[in-house]
Amino acid sequence: MSRAPAGWDVDSPVQAEVFVVWLDRDRLQLTGPDGPQPWILQLGSVEHPVEVVDRIVRDVVGPPIVVHSTSWRRDRDAVILSFVVVIGRELVGTMASLPIERADLARSEATAAPRAIAASAVVEHGLRHLAWLAKDDPVVAAELPPDWRPLLAEYIPEPFRNLG
Partner 1 sequence: MDGERQFTNRCACGWEISGSEDVVVDATIDHGRRIHNMEATREQVLAALHAPAVVDDEAADARAG
Point out which span in 4-12, 22-30, 112-120, 133-141 binds partner 1 (CB under 8 A).
Answer: 4-12
From 13, 24, 27, 44, residue interacting with partner 1 (rule: CB under 8 A): 44
- Asked if 43 is part of the footprint of partner 1 (rule: CB under 8 A), the reply reads yes
Helical H segments across 13-164, by residue range: 49-60, 119-136, 138-143, 149-152
From 59, 77, 90, 104, residue interacting with partner 1 (rule: CB under 8 A): 59
Q: Cβ closer to partner 1: 23 or 95?
A: 95
- Asked if 3 is part of the footprint of partner 1 (rule: CB under 8 A), the reply reads yes
Point out which span in 42-50, 100-108, 111-119, 132-140 binds partner 1 (CB under 8 A).
Answer: 42-50
Q: Are 26 and 46 in contact (CB under 8 A)?
A: no
Tell me the one-letter amino acid at 35.
G
- Asked if 33 is part of the footprint of partner 1 (rule: CB under 8 A), the reply reads yes
The residues, ordered by sequence, that sit 6+ positions from 141 with a Cβ below 8 Å of its Cβ are: 133, 134, 135
At closest approach, how far in Å is the CB of 130 from partner 1?
23
- Asked if 5 is part of the footprint of partner 1 (rule: CB under 8 A), the reply reads yes
- Asked if 13 is part of the footprint of partner 1 (rule: CB under 8 A), the reply reads no
Report strand pairing: 66-75 vs 78-86.
Answer: antiparallel
Q: CA angle at residue 163 from 18 to 125, to 5 degrees? A: 60
Report strand pairing: 161-162 vs 39-42.
Answer: unpaired
Q: Which of 122, 88, 84, 89 is nearest to 103 (CA)?
A: 122
Helix (H, G, I), strand (E, B) or coil at 60: helix
- Asked if 10 is part of the footprint of partner 1 (rule: CB under 8 A), the reply reads yes
Tell me which residues touch partner 1 (CB under 8 A). Answer: 1-10, 33-35, 37, 39-44, 47, 52, 56, 59-60
